[in-house]
Amino acid sequence: MTFIIYNDKLDVVPLWINGEASPLNPKLFFEVVNAQENKTVHYAQGANEADAKAAVDAAAAAFQPWSQTSYSHRRALLLKVADLLEQRAEEIARMQVLETSCAPAFANFLPRLTAPVLREIASQISNCLAGTVCPTETNDTYAFVTKEAVGPVLIISPWNSPTILGTRGIASALAAGCTVVLKGSELCPATYRLIVSVFEDAGLPKGCLNLVQAGRSEAAAVTEAIIAHPELRKVEFIGSAGIGSSIGQVCMKYLKPILMELGGKAPAIITRNANLSKAAQLCAFGAFTHHGQICMSTERIIVVKAVADEFTRLLKEAVEKEFSGGVGSAVTKASSDKVHNLLEGARKNGAKFLVGDNSYTGPHKAGLQPTIVTDLSYDDPLRDTESFGPSATLYVVEDEVEALRLANDTKSGLVASIWTDDAMQGLDMSKGLQFGSVHINSTTINDGPTSAITGTKGSGWGSNSGSFGINEFLVHKTVTLRKSEAPIEFK
């Protein structure tokens, strides 16, 4: 059940708590708007603090039996989720396009990206749950360190890539033996409802995965009510640094640990040894895919002076060839306006547009032309503000040493890339980059099922994906066994 029909005319996405839809409360309905067409496509039931408590209560009641299931049972369930996700990929993609105005190709790609991630998580459960036998000072004592699920957790997942980001977090927590309250984005609640239905249709018991969403005016109170619940043990948040800072403060207030994957200002460094044509092509791809609405988007292109003229020519050609027809729509008109104003402010401060003119696209001005900015002043807000739109800034530097310095001159630290055909140069430079991921000869939009996705600096902390994500939801417990007659000595 994706929708409940209210008064025979409104399609409403319900809250989903303990395996069933909660009663509708029309006072908390909110609209879900397709920005590209500027129309309300359906409604969603917003949560209040009582709903938040009920969701955690359900997760807490389900935790004990779920945490005692075998690793093989959890593995089989996640493998089934992966299969169902592939089977329902088209339905989920259509809903994401409807709610977020993203390009159909991008929405259709996400399930194909997610299924292998789920299968990798499933394959790693037994390894992650393995404990350690520790050496002890005396022969009459044994010490073991075991791993246990941390408890019910809150997953707060964004709108831009729900199929991968929401599903990955849910799967990692369930693999560890945790139960979940999922706070889905208010911009795509039906997409998240479909994702939850995939897990339940795969056989996940009631209460193990509960879905709430909230309108903007209630979101802060609902989030705090979930975090404050005494049974809630940990939070995963993926989103902007600003919201992450606010949620982090709430977690600190209630002494709840939080895993955060926040925004970035990803640099791509073009060395004098780079394959310039391929670098230009993938820098454009990294900057403009999904209207630039990816935390790993290429926001800064840093090119060494010796190859700057040739690379700039190739970059302009790549943008004109691949993106002359536009790059789709922003998720909301307000998002489009925010990016547009950020770039116009840079132009007023003396920056120039190398490619594109930052003009609006679409009948309702919900999209923007892809634009590359040059001659940006150091104190301009665009220098270190994640635009989250189809833009990138081009910098020319004297050498690779200056390129590293400029790349690190940011509060963010999620992902970076280096373009060089000298493998040792690439590896050496990767050591100097203050980012959780560094990709050599590839786009910044890059992650694999087996590797860690880690934020550093202002891009968060902790790791997602594969075994790294499962371990975030496990705690170590030390158990010792001693002969009862053995003396205890303090010297």
**Beta-carbon contacts of residue 405 (< 8 Å; ≥ 6 apart):** none
Q: Which two tokens stand for residue 406?
A: 């400029």
Q: Count how many Cα atoms sit within 13 Å of the Cα of residue 25 in the half-sphere of its side chain.
A: 11
Max CA pair span of the chain:
83
Contacts of residue 224, defined as CB under 8 A and 6 or more positions apart, other chains included, come to 250
Catalytic, out of 218, 261, 299, 400: 261
- CA separation, residue 17 to residues 163, 216, 418 (Å): 20, 20, 46
Q: Work out the angle at residue 147's Cα, subtended by the Cα atoms of residues 145 and 149, and round it to the nearest 5 degrees.
A: 150
CA-wise closest residue to 114 among 60, 39, 158, 170: 170
Give the whole-angstrom CA distance, residue 219 versus residue 257: 20
Cα separation values, 481 from 131, 138, 141, Å: 15, 12, 6
Q: Please return the burial class of 112, using the count of CB atoms within 10 Å of its CB with bins 0-12, 13-18 and 19+.
A: middle
Does residue 137 have an active-site annotation?
no
List C-alpha distances in Å: 237 to 55, 111, 168: 17, 21, 12
Bridge partners for 141 per DSSP? 482
Query: In the numeric block, which tokens belong to residue 433?
Result: 């980059």
Cβ-proximal residues to 469 (8 Å cutoff; 6+ apart), any chain: 121, 168, 169, 171, 172, 463
What angle, 0 to 180 degrees and rounded to 10, lies between the N-to-C axes of helices 162-176 and 189-201? 40
Just list the catalytic residues: 261
